[in-house]
């Protein structure tokens, strides 16, 4: 498989997508943040001093998806038509599971935008709770599925 982000001199380049067909593109990413049971309970109760942790993390994830090209060097700035972040509080494993779905109609995919949304939502949870739990771990960030474009559909095997 040829690396598309390498030029003839072996250096990084931004891929030219001007000839690519505009298609509907969607991506879903997943990640989680592990924490102490007490931290998870306080998030559920809304008793974290900095405020509503999940609301702030949701906004951070959405903002992050829109700013992906500002922080990932070879990503194209794209117009996102939709981004949704969902959280599942898993008390059995003391973690919050984060899912981001991003959509656009364009010439390049939204996988990096979905992954960035998950990462920033997790980091925001960490930031808002670090005063009571510095041992939290943001983990398992991965692309779950994507559709659109020349490469078609990808769905991670469970």
Alpha helices in the chain (DSSP H): 37-45, 53-66, 68-71, 111-129
Q: 54, 128 in Cβ contact below 8 A?
A: no
Q: Given the residues 70, 84, 127, 133, select the one marked as catalytic.
A: 127
Radius of gyration of the chain from Cα atoms?
Answer: 17
**Paired tokens of 146:** 């994507």
Q: Which two three-digit tokens encode residue 74?
A: 């070879």
Question: How many DSSP H helices and E strands does the chain contain?
Answer: 4, 5
Is 70 assigned a catalytic role? no
Residue 105 CA from chain centroid, whole number: 18
> 41 and 48 in contact (C-beta within 8 Å)?
no
Please state at what angle helix 111-129 crosses helix 53-66, rounded to 10 degrees: 150
- Catalytic residue set: 127
């Amino acid at each position: 498989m040829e690396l598309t982000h390498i030029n003839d001199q072996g250096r990084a380049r931004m891929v030219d997508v001007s000839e690519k067909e505009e298609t509907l593109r969607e991506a879903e990413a997943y990640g989680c943040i592990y924490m102490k049971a007490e931290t998870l309970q306080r998030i559920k109760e809304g008793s974290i001093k900095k405020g509503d942790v999940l609301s702030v993390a949701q906004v951070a994830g959405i903002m992050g998806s829109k700013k992906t090209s500002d922080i990932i060097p070879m990503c194209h700035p794209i117009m996102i038509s939709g981004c949704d972040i969902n959280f599942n509080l898993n008390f059995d494993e003391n973690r919050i599971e984060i899912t981001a779905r991003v959509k656009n109609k364009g010439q390049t995919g939204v996988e990096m935008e979905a992954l960035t949304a998950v990462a920033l939502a997790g980091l925001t949870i960490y930031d808002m709770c670090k005063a009571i739990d510095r041992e939290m771990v943001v983990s398992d960030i991965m692309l779950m599925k994507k559709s659109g474009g020349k490469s078609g559909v990808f769905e991670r095997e469970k």
